[in-house]
């Protein structure tokens, strides 16, 4: 079992000034939130009015703001890096330009990439009251897809056909584009079971085991998010975990077998602006996970009942899940005793309903940007193991390429094209 310790970054006094707690549950009113977001806002505002050295800093701030992890990146001490570079090279323009979020034009937008797809599998309800709930949650996903660019596919909502639901799931997965930058979302709504060895999701007819799903998903080489909102779902995380995948389960163990409510709150949160914890105009998969976990916990507290479900998130392929209470805002802030890497960075890059700026980014460009972001985050987690020089020498090319990506896509499209 993991034992939590606060991470180095939180304890380091020199980094405290950059702490921007965005968690809505910690910041209760807009005035406070604005106060805490002053660092990023300040850098944007200063871009037009300060001396060259600070202008470079400001421009860098603008680029990083658009990087999507601005509040987190402040922790890296990149301001120190930029200050150092600015001093060394005077008014050397790093090539970073302020970018207005949501208003970028992409010369190469209009890709023929496959669309994101959401496959919602509604399991056997067992009782009428559960059936109504499960259908309602599935409809929330359908409505969310209608607002986004994602196609919605459902199994278990219509009358039973000649083939079993299990066969239909297998066929649908076999029919998905195997290699694309467009994510596939797989959502399981229903009841699950675990007998100590095998975890299953209850379907009409034959059930779906975690191993079945692992086998059927193997040919897919594309971003994949699996949300198993059923009871006893934790073993699915272990079975399905892999690089490039995000797996969320409603429970932390196969033995949490009571009716799970997490799926209701998750379906409600997935495109809910109120769940947009870092206020970047889009609700990420991570943010939906955090909000749904919080709402689930609140349900049990309000009901005066012991919580019988504790959701987990794994997005680094190590088959170990991270619970919501290990995050502060959108940042994982506790460290496993065994040093295992924490989750959340990748899940914060997926949005069912992306902001206009994010939606307009060509998928391949976004994929590269996401890779670079993850490298930065991984580097940050290793910061204490590196000398300052080594850390910054590794960090700089990553940030430079990210900035170049934003600079490139911020250029107006050529009139000849």
Binding residues for Ca ion (CB under 5 A)? 276, 278, 280, 314, 316, 318, 320, 343
CB of 343 to Ca ion, least distance (A): 4
Q: Judged by CB, which is closer to Ca ion: 318, or 396?
A: 318
Sheet containing 117-122: give its strands across.
Answer: 151-155, 117-122, 184-189, 224-228, 245-249, 312-314
Q: Judged by CB, which is closer to Ca ion: 278, or 370?
A: 278
Instruction: Read off the tokens for 25.
Output: 């549950």
CB of 355 to Ca ion, least distance (A): 8
CB of 91 to Ca ion, least distance (A): 34
Does residue 153 contact residue 186 with C-beta atoms inside 8 Å? no
Between CA 266 and CA 141 the distance in angstroms is 10
Q: Judged by CB, which is closer to Ca ion: 187, or 240?
A: 240
Q: 């949650």: which residue's tokens?
A: 137
CB of 21 to Ca ion, least distance (A): 14
Q: Judged by CB, which is closer to Ca ion: 271, or 409?
A: 271
Q: How far apart are the first and last CA of the chain?
A: 57
Long-range CB contact pairs, 210-217, < 8 A, 24+: 210/235, 210/236, 210/238, 210/239, 210/240, 211/239, 212/166, 212/170, 213/186, 213/239, 213/240, 214/239, 214/240, 216/169, 216/170, 216/173, 216/174, 217/173, 217/186
Q: Taking Cα atoms as reference points, which of 273, 132, 116, 112 lies closest to residue 187?
A: 116
Q: Judged by CB, which is closer to Ca ion: 165, or 276?
A: 276
Give 245's Cβ-side CA count (13 Å radius): 24
CB of 259 to Ca ion, least distance (A): 26
Q: Judged by CB, which is closer to Ca ion: 318, or 375?
A: 318
Q: Judged by CB, which is closer to Ca ion: 165, or 343?
A: 343
CB of 291 to Ca ion, least distance (A): 11
CB of 270 to Ca ion, least distance (A): 12
Sheet containing 199-201: give its strands across.
Answer: 192-194, 199-201, 208-209
70: three-class secondary structure by DSSP: helix
Point out the residue whose Cβ comes nearest to Ca ion.
314
CB of 285 to Ca ion, least distance (A): 10
Q: Taking Cα atoms as reference points, which of 398, 380, 346, 328 lies closest to residue 76?
A: 380
Q: Judged by CB, which is closer to Ca ion: 94, or 285?
A: 285
Task: State how far the alpha carbon of 351 is from the alpha carbons of 109, 201, 271, 329, 412, in Å.
Answer: 18, 25, 8, 17, 25
């Amino acid at each position: 079992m993991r034992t939590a310790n606060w991470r180095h970054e939180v304890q380091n006094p020199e980094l405290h000034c950059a702490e921007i707690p965005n968690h809505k549950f910690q910041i209760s009113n807009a005035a406070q939130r604005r106060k805490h977001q002053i660092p990023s806002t300040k850098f944007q505002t200063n871009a037009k009015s300060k001396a060259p050295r600070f202008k470079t800093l400001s421009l860098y701030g603008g680029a990083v703001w658009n990087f999507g992890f601005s509040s987190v990146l402040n922790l890296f001490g990149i301001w120190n890096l930029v200050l150092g570079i600015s001093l060394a090279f005077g008014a050397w323009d790093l090539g970073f330009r302020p970018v207005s979020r949501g208003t970028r034009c992409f010369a190469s937008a209009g890709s023929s990439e496959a669309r994101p797809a959401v496959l919602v599998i509604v399991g056997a309800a067992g009782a009428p009251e559960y059936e109504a709930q499960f259908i309602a949650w599935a409809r929330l996903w359908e409505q969310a897809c209608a607002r986004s660019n994602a196609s919605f596919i459902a199994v278990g909502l219509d009358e039973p056909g000649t083939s079993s639901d299990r066969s239909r799931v297998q066929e649908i997965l076999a029919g998905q584009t195997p290699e694309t930058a467009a994510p596939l979302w797989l959502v399981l709504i229903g009841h699950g079971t675990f007998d100590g060895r095998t975890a299953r999701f209850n379907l009409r007819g034959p059930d779906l085991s975690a191993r079945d799903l692992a086998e059927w998903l193997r040919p897919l080489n594309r971003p994949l998010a699996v949300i198993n909102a059923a009871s006893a779902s934790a073993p699915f995380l272990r079975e399905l975990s892999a690089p490039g995948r995000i797996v969320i389960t409603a429970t932390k163990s196969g033995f949490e077998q009571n009716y799970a409510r997490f799926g209701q709150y998750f379906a409600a949160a997935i495109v809910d602006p109120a769940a947009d914890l870092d206020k970047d105009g889009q609700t990420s998969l991570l943010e939906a996970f955090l909000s749904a976990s919080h709402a689930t916990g609140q349900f049990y507290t309000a009901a005066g009942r012991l919580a019988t479900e504790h959701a987990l998130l794994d997005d680094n392929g190590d088959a170990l899940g991270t619970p919501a209470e290990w995050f502060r805002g959108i940042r994982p802030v506790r460290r496993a005793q065994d040093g295992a890497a924490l989750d959340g960075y990748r899940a914060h890059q997926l949005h069912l309903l992306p902001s206009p700026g994010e939606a307009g980014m060509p998928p391949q460009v976004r994929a590269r940007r996401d890779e670079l972001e993850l490298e930065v985050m991984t580097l940050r987690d290793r910061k204490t193991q590196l000398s300052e020089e080594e850390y910054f020498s590794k960090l700089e090319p990553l940030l430079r390429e990210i900035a170049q990506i934003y600079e490139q896509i911020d250029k107006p499209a050529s009139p000849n094209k």
